[in-house]
Structure 1
Amino acid sequence: MPSALSANDPLLANPFSDGFNGSFKPWDCPDIFLAKSTSPKPVTSGTGSDILEQTHSKEKQGSEDSNRGVTIVEERQRRRIISNRESARRSRMRKQRHLENFRNQLNLFRVQNRELKTRLQFLMNHYIRVRTENDRLRSERTLLGQKLSNVNQFMVFQQVQPLSSAW
């Protein structure tokens, strides 16, 4: 499980917040801007050591600029890492919610399936009772039909017999 970052975490600290409130003025930083605006040094002839000093100071300044560039790149990488971690955390949470929704849906379907099985069993029992009753009524109808036929034959025979006795 990823650990949550607190507000005091050094990874979340803004390195530019100290002394930078959006109202930047060049005269607030005299050592950067005044060094470039000072009058030029007089040209002297020498053995070349002054050229070495100038080259060394330019290399030093270049390395500071490159260090500043590296820190900016590192800051961007750090922010990107934090952003990626947060995005991954959100993605895991979405996936967890999605999985939880599927589990809830599965439980709901199981309950519905159980209810449908119970209803089906009830209807099957009712169908068997109705079918049994229907079969009983059919056989009773057949039996009553035969009795009716016998009574009709008897009646016909009764009507015919007085005629035959007259003969």
Structure 2
Amino acid sequence: MLSNPFSTVFHSGFTPWDCHDLLLAKPTSPKPVTSSIGSDDPDQTHGKEKPVSGDSNRGVTIMEERKRRRMVSNRESARRSRMRKQKHSENLRNQLNLFRVENRELNTRLQFLMNHCNCVQTENDWLRSERTLLCQKLSNISQFMVFQQLQPLSSAWSCNNLTAE
């Protein structure tokens, strides 16, 4: 008697040679897939096929297993999608808070600069008026100096005029 050399490898007892029955089985025609949404037909199985014979019962359980795995995979995918969405929303909230803080800081700096600008403008206006006042004083002093320099000449002129008479 031949022993199975792969019995230690395949712990479940299933070997590639066990699917020989599946390959030789008479293929059954696939049933059309129909949607049960909005249907009033009570005989519909909502995606589950009714077993026809013993061989097709194995096919149905394989189909149910695939459907179950797909459903678990879809749920996991949806959970990951929700987690990504939640993380993205949290990142956007954090970014919004950072922008709000930065906006407050910039507004504070702007107010400080505007106050400083007003002070500089006020000081500039005062310096201009001071300059105008000092220019006027300088002009008055210059006129007085010119008058002082011309006064000896005019008195000398008046003396020359008196002697000439």
Cα distance in 2, alignment partners of residues 147 and 106 from structure 1? 61
Indicate the residue corresponding to 1:29 in structure 2: 12
Bigger helix share? 1
**Matches for 1:18-167 after TM superposition, within 5 Å:** 25-26=9-10, 28-30=11-13, 33=14, 37=18, 56-167=53-164
Instruction: Give 1:70's aligned amino acid.
Output: K
Q: How much is the aligned-residue C-alpha RMSD, in angstroms? A: 2.3
Q: Where does structure 2 lack aligned partners over 5 or more consecutive residues?
A: 1-7, 22-51
Percent identity of equivalent pairs? 10
Q: Render the CA deviation track for 1:115-151: whole Å, top value 9, x for unaligned.
A: 1111101101111210111111121122222222322
Cα distance in 2, alignment partners of residues 111 and 78 from structure 1? 49
How does the TM-score come out when normalised to structure 1? 0.65
Instruction: Give 1:112's aligned amino acid.
Output: R
Q: Where does structure 1 lack aligned partners over 5 or more consecutive residues?
A: 1-23, 41-54
SS of residue paired to 2:119: helix
Cα distance in 1, alignment partners of residues 132 and 162 from structure 2? 45
Count of equivalent residues: 124
